[in-house]
Amino acid sequence: MGVTDAAGSGTQATISSARGGYESFQIVVTAGASGLSNVNVSVSDLQGPAGAVISRTNYTLYREKFAYVSSSSPNWGGSNQPLGAGWYADGLIPFTDPVTGAPLAGASLTAVPFNIGPNSNQPFWVDLFVPRTAPAGQYSGTYTVTTGQGNLSGQISLTVWNFTLPMTPSLKSAFLFWTAGSTLSQEELLRHKLFPASSSPTDQPILMSNYGLGTTNVGPYSGAYAGNCVMSAAPSVSQFQAEAAAEAPGLPLYDYSADEIDSCTNLYTTLQQWARNMHQAGINNLVTMSPTPALYSDGSGTGRSAVDIWVMLPLMYDSAQSQVQYVQQKGDSTWSYNTLVQDSYSPKWEIDFDPINFRIQPGFINQSLGLNGLLYWRIDDWINNPWYNVNNAGTFSSNNYPGEGQLVYPGADVGLQSVVPSMRLKWLRDGVQDYEYIQILKNLGSATQALQIARSVGPDWRNWTRDPNAIYSARQQLGQAINALAGTPPPPAPSAPSNPSPADGATGLAVTAALSWSASSNASSYEVYWGTSSSPAKVGSTSTTNYALPTMSNGTKYYWKVVANGGGGSTSSPVWSFTTVTSIPPTSGPPTAVSVSPSSGSGSIQTFQFVYSAPAGYSNLSGGGTLINTSFSGPNACWFYYNQVANTISLANNDASSWPSMALGSGGTLSNNQCTISGVSANGSGNNLTVTVSVSFTSAFAGTKTVYMYAIDKSGVSSGNQALGTWTVPSTTTTGGNGHHHK
């Protein structure tokens, strides 16, 4: 919204969000010919389901400050052109301290009250954080604009979806401060779901637990960059080990060792030595360059690449697509980044480009191309005070790149000791959250649907939507799909061993049971057949996917079948059926957790095999769970559950309040602060179900742990938890750098 653009007439803000997410909207106040005086904005609490309230303290309000772009960014004349010279809203002046809500003092720039000149607009930015404990459902509230000439109120409608974004974003990132990277400023960046490249080890535990810091750069920097194909000798293994030991336990580490060295083939041997040494210290090597076969090995013979994190501009990606796909399949990380205006088609982060440029890259394009990180060379490059001058003609070249390297503003001007976000930083945050929604849907076993939505708006660097309504629709589709799948968590482990159940034909007893089956996509109802012969008789019908069976005699073999009815009538052949299935022998009993292999040992990464059993056959198991902790306690554990019926695995979050899931064979991972699970497979034979899981433990989870297991059959009978192994997690893991990026 420009200073004099025609304003809209709507007064309702309609937003949707997961718990733990940020959503925003703008309120534009337009003055008539006489102007407006003493303009202010306030918001109410949000009233939700069953008396739930989201307090107004979860809002942060800003007045948007206009910046004058004196000359356009470079215009390559392609599909993504700058909007040109003029006034743009970008800096955000907070009403109060965004963290404490306290009034601001000593500011040269104040948000409100504010006077608006004749025939002019003043936009206000409203940020809402949805608490992680907010019940799902519909919320409503109001906002009020007061002026010396009268007041106006509007409605706020919020939908809170029934899932929670993780504290630590799935999208890794490295955004570099050069001069203003205080702890408070780093916290501000982390509230925008982006990681500062470097942080103080003394601050890292709080930044990790309270703000979601997920990686850090340990250094040193080699000195190599575009135009300077000279690299210092590799630090020794012990030097890298000392760098790693100085960082907080459990924080993944990388070393930003070199910058834009595609043309520096003379450095490859030295770069391999850097990589070999840092790999022995548990540090990943990050380099801004295109993948090249010469660096697909660090020379150690392990097959590990010399570059673990390949960071590419769109031009670099497009010129090396086959190499990118190769290293992705190899297991390397691939990130995107942005700087200046280097092509005619990809998103740009200058002030005079359309806002969609900032949102589309982190989430939709990154996910579509399999890129799992985001880098920006500097966010506090204040050549001038950007509150008053965002131009920099002659600094990077003779051209103007308004806002380049400036995603935050100096806080002192508004009465803060930390930096202040730009609107561009808010849009980048929205893109990181888009990435998270896509990732959650993939983890729930719907990777095809998730990527279809992503690619509908941002399939690659050249073909991405310019329509903000399409972005809004894509986010809504993602949220609604996740909300529908979030559903019921897997069965929890019992708190104590269960007594054997007389069900399943224990001697001398008649038993009852229930059938359950997977839904058929075009079924209107199901006919249930049950009996002692191989051609069982029909016993009833149901519109659900379960059926209570007649009383059975012990020691008798039973057969059953389910026929799906579709299109309003019975099908001539079953759409879906079971035939000749369940035998209930007289020796049947409750399921058991059999074993874990290895049953003892130590290490940060291990592939385990868990065996569960049911006397009536492994197909009678609903699933099996494993809880790894110092005691049988769900919070802060590595606790996962294999659901055989759905063929999914779920990992409890840190407080065991939710269970993110993924389908077997999806190739995904699930993580909490204790562990990451991947490579899951399941096989059944006879009575036994074997579930194979690769587990990577964090060093924050160090110590000797007990491996508890439990099995649950389809009638709900549990084995109870059983301690079947021990595992020692070391205090240092081999996860994977802090230097400086030079431009």
- The per-residue pLDDT for range 665-690, each reduced to its tens digit, is 878 899 999 999 999 999 988 889 99
CB atoms within 10 A of CB 702: 17
Residue pair 722/497 in contact (Cβ under 8 Å)? The answer is yes
Is residue 619 domain-shared with residue 715, that is, in the same domain?
A: yes
- What residues contact residue 39 under an 8 Å CB cut-off, 6+ apart? 29, 112, 113, 114, 115, 116, 122, 145, 146, 147
pLDDT > 70? residue 572: no
- Residue-by-residue DSSP string for 364-432: IIHHHTT--EEEES-SB--SS-TTT----TTTSSSS--TTTTBSEE-SGGGT-SS-EEBHHHHHHHHHH
66 within some domain: yes
At 494 the pLDDT is 46
Confidence of residue 497 (pLDDT cuts 50, 70, 90): very low
340 within some domain: no
Q: At residue 65, what are phi and psi to the nearest 5 degrees?
A: -100, 135
At 512 the pLDDT is 38
Chain CA centroid to CA 453, Å: 16
Which string of b and e fits 174-186 if b means at least 16 CB within 10 Å? bbbbeebbbbebb
Q: Which residue has the tokens 């699933």?
A: 623
Q: At residue 119, what are phi and psi to the nearest 5 degrees?
A: 55, 35
Is residue 643 domain-shared with residue 718, that is, in the same domain?
A: yes
Domain count for the chain: 3
Structure tokens at 632: 């049988």
pLDDT one-digit tens code per residue, 360-384: 999 999 999 999 999 999 999 999 9
Q: What is the mean pLDDT of the chain?
A: 87
- Residue 538's SS3 state is strand
Q: What share of the chain is helix, strand, coil (3-state, %, to 5)?
A: 20, 35, 50
Range of the domain at 713: 592-729
Q: Where does 444-531 have alpha helices with state H?
A: 447-457, 468-486
CB atoms within 10 A of CB 188: 23
pLDDT > 70? residue 592: yes
Last residue of a domain, one of 530, 563, 588: 588
Is residue 635 domain-shared with residue 683, that is, in the same domain?
A: yes
- What residues contact residue 638 under an 8 Å CB cut-off, 6+ apart? 627, 628, 629, 651, 672, 674, 675, 677, 695, 697, 701, 705
Residue pair 439/170 in contact (Cβ under 8 Å)? The answer is yes
Structure tokens at 578: 């079971």
- What residues contact residue 598 under an 8 Å CB cut-off, 6+ apart? 606, 608, 725
Q: At residue 183, what are phi and psi to the nearest 5 degrees?
A: -60, -45
Residue pair 451/365 in contact (Cβ under 8 Å)? The answer is no
pLDDT > 60? residue 567: no
Query: How far apart, in whole angstroms, are the C-alpha atoms of residue 314 and residue 245?
Result: 35
Query: How far apart, in whole angstroms, are the C-alpha atoms of residue 657 and residue 643?
Result: 18
Is residue 18 domain-shared with residue 153, that is, in the same domain?
A: yes
Is residue 149 domain-shared with residue 38, that is, in the same domain?
A: yes
Last residue of a domain, one of 538, 554, 588: 588
At 256 the pLDDT is 98
At 510 the pLDDT is 31
Residue pair 273/236 in contact (Cβ under 8 Å)? The answer is no
604 within some domain: yes
133 within some domain: yes
- Range of lowest pLDDT (159-173, 492-506, 635-649): 492-506
Sign (positive or negative) of CA dihedral 696, 699, 700, 704? positive
Residue pair 56/320 in contact (Cβ under 8 Å)? The answer is no
pLDDT > 90? residue 742: no
Partners of 186 in the β-ladder:
none
Chain CA centroid to CA 418, Å: 26
Query: How far apart, in whole angstroms, are the C-alpha atoms of residue 531 and residue 51?
Result: 51
Is residue 527 domain-shared with residue 569, that is, in the same domain?
A: yes
What distances in angstroms separate CA 365 from CA 22, 106, 435, one per listed residue?
21, 42, 9
Confidence of residue 604 (pLDDT cuts 50, 70, 90): very high
CB atoms within 10 A of CB 483: 17
Is residue 580 domain-shared with residue 639, that is, in the same domain?
A: no
Q: Mean pLDDT across the stretch 212-224?
A: 95
Last residue of a domain, one of 561, 588, 615: 588
Is residue 572 domain-shared with residue 604, that is, in the same domain?
A: no
Q: Mean pLDDT across the stretch 70-98?
A: 97
At 444 the pLDDT is 79
Residue type, 700: A
pLDDT > 50? residue 504: no
pLDDT one-digit tens code per residue, 527-540: 777 766 666 677 77
Report which secondary-structure segment, H or E, holds 241: helix 237-246
Could you tell me which of 39, 28, 36, 34 has the C-alpha nearest to residue 4?
Answer: 28
Q: Which residue did the predictor score with more confidence, 182 or 512?
A: 182
Is residue 599 domain-shared with residue 583, that is, in the same domain?
A: no
426 within some domain: no
Q: What is the CATH number of the domain that holds 705?
A: 2.60.40.10
pLDDT one-digit tens code per residue, 107-149: 999 999 999 999 999 999 999 999 998 998 999 999 999 999 9
Confidence of residue 586 (pLDDT cuts 50, 70, 90): very low
Report which secondary-structure segment, H or E, holds 483: helix 468-486
Residue 107, Cβ density class (10 Å: 0-12 exposed, 13-18 middle, ≥19 buried): middle
Partners of 651 in the β-ladder:
640
- Residue 186's SS3 state is helix
- Residue 507's SS3 state is coil
Could you tell me which of 440, 444, 448 has the C-alpha nearest to residue 475?
Answer: 440
Residue pair 445/664 in contact (Cβ under 8 Å)? The answer is no
- What residues contact residue 675 under an 8 Å CB cut-off, 6+ apart? 628, 638, 651, 695, 696, 697, 698, 701
Chain CA centroid to CA 355, Å: 22
pLDDT > 50? residue 571: no
Q: Mean pLDDT across the stretch 591-611?
A: 94
Confidence of residue 654 (pLDDT cuts 50, 70, 90): confident
Q: Mean pLDDT across the stretch 683-707?
A: 93
- What residues contact residue 352 under an 8 Å CB cut-off, 6+ apart? 69, 72, 73, 82, 83, 84, 85, 86, 88, 402
Cis peptide before 291 (omega within 30 of 0): no
430 within some domain: no
What distances in angstroms separate CA 90 from CA 364, 487, 631, 694, one per listed residue?
23, 40, 51, 46
Is residue 648 domain-shared with residue 548, that is, in the same domain?
A: no
Is residue 650 domain-shared with residue 526, that is, in the same domain?
A: no
Structure tokens at 442: 């993939």
263 within some domain: no
Confidence of residue 568 (pLDDT cuts 50, 70, 90): very low
Structure tokens at 203: 């601050």
Confidence of residue 58 (pLDDT cuts 50, 70, 90): very high
704 within some domain: yes
Is residue 159 domain-shared with residue 37, that is, in the same domain?
A: yes
Q: Which residue did the predictor score with more confidence, 270 or 651?
A: 270
At 483 the pLDDT is 85
Residue type, 692: T
At 566 the pLDDT is 62
Query: C-alpha angle 479/484/487, rounded to 5°?
Result: 120
